[in-house]
Every structure is written in structure tokens, then in C-alpha cells.
Amino acid sequence: MVTNTSQEAIDLDAPWISQEDLPVEKYQIVDEDGGYDPDDVPDLEETEFLDLYRWMLVEKRYAERMIKLQRRGQMGTVGSSRGHEASIVGSGYALQDGDWLLGMGRETSAMLQRGVSLRDIILFWRGVEDAQRFLTEQNCMIGISVGGYLPMTTGVGWGMNLTDTDAVVTAHFGDGATSTGAFHEAVNFAGVLDAPAIFYCQNNQWAISTPFEKQTNANSIAQRGLGYGVHGIRVDGNDVLAVYDAMREARELARAGHPVLFEALTYRTEGHSTSDDPTEYRGREEVEEWLERDPIERYESFLKSEGLWDAVDKEALVAEVDEEFSAAVEAADAYGPRDVDELFEYVYEDLPPILRGQLDEMEGDLEDLDDLEAYIERRPKG
């Protein structure tokens, strides 16, 4: 078999451009060893620096405890966000009231920062329809079709322009999403419309078993922005300060009519989801290497250097965060009781006669048919 490879060097006369003409830098404030230039540190209050830390603990404990709940059968399939803490928290922290966040499910604390409640996130992963209703009250949504909601993101930004709304919309998605047709049309269209949209890619190196190198021949996600005439940036996604700082700027750019393609370089340290076994497709060494760059530890070293660590009682913080999580689980357990008519709600604004009839029939069947209920086990809890 002949392989037509793009790797060969060939002599050319005409002025081709290639991605090698465009070195893409990685924006970083605190490096892997915890070193940084104090001049680069974003101008935040002490409490804000501490806040960022607390949010990362929230994200981490959330991820760990959701997996445990899943293993105990109290949760549907979930994906861990371990490793993404800085990328999620830094991006969320830069957003403001009135901003929109459309996500894929790996951005919990950014949604909590927008005002979503943890109970509702838990309900979402238990497959309770109402959860998304609560999320949208905070201008948030989770889209399961990868990349599918990106064109809609552009539309929201367009709407902000048409109505002189001073806000931005961000779509959070993974590296896999950048291979979908929807991604390309969305970013291109946003550029044409000057939409205040931030396309926020958490490039965690893997889309289930597909590594980034097999997802695209491009060296970075960020560089693709150029092809669409929008700003692009590649940020160390394990450096919460760099993410926050760049996202703050991204927000300014977007508000000024320059959509942004933001690539946060991070790593999914666990399986894609609870139904995935990552040892089948990647080596331990690679994971270890990234575990060394743990975003929370890196930020801890920063807080220590800044003399802010004394103000942190980590154990107490974790206990507090855990308690919040437990309370949220309790609230989720208590959610309901739920009735079958809610399955027919919201399909249309008004229930059309045919649905009314089907609902009546369903209710009648549940009442009349002996063991129908036995076929309808309700697991996991909702």
C-alpha cells in the first residue's frame, strides 16, 4: 500500500504557507516547577486568589465523589474532570453575570460559578430532565452531541450583538469536538458576524481512545483560529492563573467583536467515563508525566510563594466542600416525586391532543396492566 504522507520534505518554488510558518506558543504564568515572574501575575485580590484555590478543590472532590456514587449505582455514566481543574476554574472565573456557558459536561465548577447548583448537576447525571431547566436559568446548558451546540453558540453571540447585550457566550468542548463539521462552521460564522463568542477547547489530549495526533494533523487547535479570521490562543490549561488571565482578555476581545478560539492544554488523568478503561489505549508513563503537572499542586506552590498559603486550611476546606457535596446529594435524592406526565411536558408549549391521548393511555396502562410497573425499574435514583 502506498501511503501519501504529509511528512515528507519536498522542494517547492511557489510561496506555500504551512503550519511550520506559525509557531504556536503556550501561554503560561506559573511554570511546571512553580516558578513565575511576579510581573505576570494577574491583578487579583487576595480573596480571589484563595477563591480560585477553593474552586479547584470543589472540582476535584466533585469528580472523585461522582465516580464513587456511580460505582455504588446511584448515578448514571459520568466522566471525571480530574486534571482539568485549572482549565475549568480559570475559564469560569473570568466570566461575568449575564454571560452564557454552553458545555459538554466537563465544566462543573465553571457552571457552579455561574450560579448553577450542585444538586442540579447531580440530577443531570442521573438523567432527570428538569436538571437542564435549572441550568438554563443560569444561561448554561450541557450538550451531549459533541460539537453540535457550537453553531448555536455563534447564534447566541449574534443575538447579543443584535440586542446590544453586553455579555459573551462561551462554548466549552474537547479536542474531539474540533473535528466536527459543526465546530468549523460555528467558528467561521462567528468570525463573519463579529459575535462575542469564546470557543473554549479543553484539549485534554484524548477523545475516548483517540489521541490528539490522530484527531488532527494541525499542531494546535489555537492556530486554526487564523483560518477563520478569529483570534486564537494556546494556554497552559494546568496553570489556573494563565487560564484566568487569558480568558479575561478573551472576554474583552469577544465583547469588542473579536470571537476567540481558546485552547487550554490539559490532560484527562482518568478514563473518558465510567464505562471506559484507559489502560487499553494509553501507557501509564504518559499519565504519570501529567500527574506530575497537577494543576492544584502547582497552584499550591504559587500560593506558598506569595505567602498566601498560611491563610489556607486545606483540611477544613476539603471538609467544607465535601459537606456541600453531601448536602447536594441529599437534595438530589429528595428531588421528586416525579410523575409520568412530565415526560410529555415541554415537547411543545401546549400539549397537542395526540400527546394528551398518549399520556392518558400511558397512565391507563400503568394502572390496568398488572406487571407493567415491574418492567419499569427506576434505577438509578432521580
Binding site for another protein (CB under 8 A): 1, 76-77, 126-129, 144-148, 176-177, 179-182, 207-210, 214-216, 275-276, 280-281, 338, 340, 343-344, 347, 354-355, 358-359, 362, 365, 368-372, 375-382
* Piece of the chain touching ligand TPP by CB under 6 A; list 126-134, 139-147, 216-224, 253-261: 139-147
| Rounded least distance, CB 219 to another protein, Å | 15
Residue nearest to ligand TPP (CB): 174
Report the alpha-carbon distance of residue 185 to residue 356 in Å, rounded: 39
Q: How far is CA 260 from CA 1, 54, 72, 144, 169, in A?
A: 41, 28, 41, 22, 11
For residues 186 to 205, the per-residue mask of contacts with ligand TPP, x marking binding by CB under 6 A and - elsewhere, is ----------------x-x-
Residue whose entry in the numeric block shows the C-alpha cell 475516548: 208
Tell me, what amino acid is at 347?
A: V
Please indicate whether residue 184 is annotated as part of the active site. no
The residue whose grid cell reads 411536558 is 345
Partner from another protein, ligand TPP, none binding residue 19, C-beta < 5-8 Å depending on class:
none
Does residue 258 carry a catalytic annotation? no
Shortest Cβ 299–ligand TPP spacing (Å): 21
CA angle 285, 286, 291 (to 5 degrees): 95
For residues 46 and 48, what is the distance between their CA atoms, to the nearest angstrom?
5
| CA 224/CA 73 separation, integer angstroms | 41
298's CB contacts (< 8 A; 6+ apart) are 30, 32, 34, 86, 238, 239
In the residue annotation, 268 being an active-site residue is answered as yes
The one of another protein, ligand TPP, none whose footprint includes residue 206, by CB under 5 to 8 A per kind, is: ligand TPP
| Residue whose C-alpha is closest to residue 208's, from 275, 128, 149, 139 | 275
* Choice between 273 and 358, CB closer to ligand TPP: 273
* Shortest distance (Å) from residue 208 CB to ligand TPP: 5
- Closer residue to another protein, CB minimum distance, 33 or 377: 377
Q: How far apart are CA 121 and CA 62, in angstroms?
A: 10
Q: Does 207 bind ligand TPP (CB under 6 A)?
A: yes
Residues within window 208-247 making contact with ligand TPP, judged by CB under 6 A: 208
How do beta strands 210-211 and 231-236 pair?
unpaired
Looking at 72-137, list the stretches that DSSP marks H as alpha helix, in order from N- to C-terminal side: 85-93, 108-113, 118-125, 130-137
> Of 268, 298, 299, 335, which residue is the catalytic one?
268
Nearer to ligand TPP, 212 or 244 (CB): 212
**Binds 305: which of ligand TPP, another protein, none (CB < 5-8 Å by kind):** none
Q: What is the DSSP letter of 23?
A: P
Answer with the entry of another protein, ligand TPP, none that 293 interacts with (C-beta below 5 to 8 A by kind). none
Q: Annotated active-site positions, please?
A: 268, 272, 281
Interface residues toward ligand TPP, by CB under 6 A: 106, 144-146, 148, 173-177, 202, 204, 206-208, 268, 272
